[in-house]
Amino acid sequence: MNAENLIKMANDIGSFFEAMPNREQATRDVATHIQKFWEPRMQKSLISYLGTHGDGNLKPIVRDALREIHPASFAARN
């Protein structure tokens, strides 16, 4: 699926939770939100795009959240 759109959507989620004072909790909330509302192929598309193109302008909080949900894909990259 269109990676640009997915990144934008993910960053918008990040923007909401970023404002929370507890960063750890906020990252978990981003992760939960994506897990609860994103159909698996959306998550997969985004992860695989990041795998080939790098994190680009993905917000750090979103990257951390994705790492929480899909540790394996991230481990493979690092």
Partner 1 sequence: MDTTHHLHDVDYGTPASVSEKLVTLEIDGFEVTVPEGTSLMRAAVEAGTQIPKLCATDSLEPFGSCRLCLVEIEGRRGFPASCTTPAEAGMKVRTQSPKLADLRRGVMELYISDHPLDCLTCSANGDCELQDMAGTVGLRDVRYGYEGLNHIKEQADTSNPYFTYDPSKCIVCNRCVRACEETQGTFALTISGRGFESRVSAGESQAFMDSECVSCGACVNACPTATLMEKTIIEAGQPDHSVLTTCAYCGVGCGFKADMKGSEVVRMTPWKDGKANEGHACIKGRFAWGYTTHKDRILKPMIRSKITDPWQEVSWETAIGHAASEFRRIQNKFGVDSIGGITSSRCTNEETYLVQKLVRAGFGNNNVDTCARVCHSPTGYGLGQTYGTSAGTQTFKSIEKADVILIIGANPTDAHPVFGSRMKKRLREGARLIIVDPRKIELVSSPHIKADYHLQLRPGTNVAIVNALAHVIVTEGLLDQQFVDERCDKEAFDYWRDFVASANNSPEALESMTGVPAHLVREAARLYANAGNGAIYYGLGVTEHSQGSTAVIGIANLAMATGNIGREGVGVNPLRGQNNVQGSCDMGSFPHEYPGYRHVSDDATRTLFEKDWGVSLRKEPGLRIPNMFEAAMDGSFKGLYCQGEDIVQSDPNTQHVIAAMEAMECIVVQDLFLNETAKYAHVFLPGSSFLEKDGTFTNAERRISRVRKVMAPKAGLADWEATVALSNALGYPMHYKDPSEIMAEIARLTPTFSSVTYEKLDQLGSVQWPCNDAMPEGTPLMHIDHFVRGKGRFLITQYVPTDEKVTPKFPLLLTTGRILSQYNVGAQTRRTENVKFHEEDRLDIHPQDAAERGIQEDDWVGITSRAGETVLRARVTERMQPGVVYTTFHFPESGANVITTDNSDWATNCPEYKVTAVQVVKVKHASEWQENFHEFNETQLRLLKDKVVTAEAAAGTR
Residue ranges binding partner 1 (CB under 8 A)? 1-2, 5, 8-9, 12-13, 15-16, 18-21, 33, 35-42, 45
Of 45 and 73, which has the nearer Cβ to partner 1? 45
Closest CA to 60 of 52, 68, 1: 68
- Please report how close the Cβ of residue 40 comes to partner 1 at its closest, in angstroms: 5
Contact (CB, 8 A) for 6 and 48: no
Least distance CB 13 / partner 1 (angstroms)? 5
Tell me the Cα Rg of the chain. 11
Q: Which of 21/54 has CB closer to partner 1?
A: 21
d(CA 16, CA 63): 15
**Which residue's CB is nearer to partner 1, number 38 or number 58?**
38
